[in-house]
Structure 1
Amino acid sequence: MNDAKNDVSNDASLTTGGTQGAAIRLERALPDPPSVVWQALTEPEQLKAWFPCEVTVADGIWKPGAAISFLFGPEADNLTMQGEVLEAREPESLAFTWGEETLRFTLTAQGTGTLLVLIDELRPGIAARNAAGWESCLDLLATGTRDKDAWQPRFEHYSAMFSQALGEQEGPPAGME
């Protein structure tokens, strides 16, 4: 997943309503075909390279109803969240709960690469922090690098964008500053 040519805006977009009250949408044009991107979304070793925590799926199989554990490290007090696979259609779409949120990944062939769309359905107060965080994660997926100093300016940008529609935005969870 290196040398991504990105003709898609990296900015997250916002929708309101739905079951959680808000959803953020991010897109990335990736140079690899959907089958390769699917592996990055579902194989434990590849997930470790870009997802914000360790992901364990029951029996190692991404299928609807499978339980998922999300294990954060000591920087987040070794927090463990639970989730469930909602949809797994290789290599087109993957959806699962992530704590109280729902994450949806859609992969669409685009030339020899893939357009990846991530939609995070979440409560309104955390839209800016999650948009900033997912933008960093998707940068890592696309390029293999992450700018550790980028989160705060991104958060401020999204807070300004989203606060009028959603109200005050919460910063990072405790221990994740």
Structure 2
Amino acid sequence: MTQAELRTDGARPVVRLERQLADPPSVVWQAITERAQLRAWFPCDVLVAGGVWEVGTSITFDFGPEMGEMTLTGEVFEVDEPNLLAFSWGEERLRFHLTPHGSGTHFVLTDELPPDAAARNAAGWDDCLDRLAGLEPGDWQSRFNAYAATFEPLVGPQSGPPTA
């Protein structure tokens, strides 16, 4: 695991996470854009209108019955295959930046979010990115507690997981 960083120099806080992945950007790109591969690591099912990641395309995020049938919507903002993908995820904005690093990929995820979601999302993205890297996820609650202790002085009280 690599520690998430909280940036507070913009209009909204941004959680930033990095990973070194063994696969080249072209392979990682498939993992972040193909529905079947996203299901293996992303926290919900991702349905891209028309099945093509293009600027302006709408996206539906289905969390299924375990989250009370919660769904979010979004829109694609940037696509530069296989280097950059950015889209909204409900009221958040996600950005995936892939850079060649040796035979693998330097992977950076940023999540622009409401202040009270920083620790929850950092802990969740840690788990997701562990799965993306082929690792067993860690203990979410321990990660959340550590992030909350670090982030609360910067952005205020932190919310726990959503309730179904």
Q: TM-score, normalised by structure 1?
A: 0.90
Secondary structure in 2 aligned to 1:143? coil
Structure 2 runs not aligned, ≥5 long = none
| Residues 19-74 of structure 1: per-residue CA shift (max 9 Å, x gap) | 4x200000000000000000000000000000000000010000100000000111
Measured in 2, the distance between the counterparts of 1:171 and 1:121 equals: 17
Residue 89 of structure 2 is matched in structure 1 by 98
Give the aligned residue type for 2:145: E
Give the aligned residue type for 1:77: G
Measured in 1, the distance between the counterparts of 2:5 and 2:156 equals: 16
C-alpha RMSD over aligned residues: 1.0
Aligned residues: 164
Measured in 2, the distance between the counterparts of 1:30 and 1:141 equals: 8
Instruction: State the shift of 1:152 in Å.
Output: 0.1
Residue 152 of structure 2 is matched in structure 1 by 163
Q: Percent identity?
A: 56
Is 1:129 paired with 2:120? yes
Is 1:71 paired with 2:57? no
Instruction: State the shift of 1:144 in Å.
Output: 4.9
Instruction: State the shift of 1:107 in Å.
Output: 0.1
Is 1:47 paired with 2:38? yes
1:26 to 17, 22, 26: 17
* Structure 1 segments of 4+ aligned residues over 2 angstroms from their partners: 144-147
Measured in 1, the distance between the counterparts of 2:152 and 2:135 equals: 31
Structure 1 runs not aligned, ≥5 long = 1-8
Measured in 1, the distance between the counterparts of 2:40 and 2:54 equals: 22
Measured in 2, the distance between the counterparts of 1:142 and 1:37 equals: 10
Measured in 2, the distance between the counterparts of 1:66 and 1:53 equals: 18
Measured in 2, the distance between the counterparts of 1:18 and 1:38 equals: 27
Measured in 2, the distance between the counterparts of 1:64 and 1:145 equals: 33
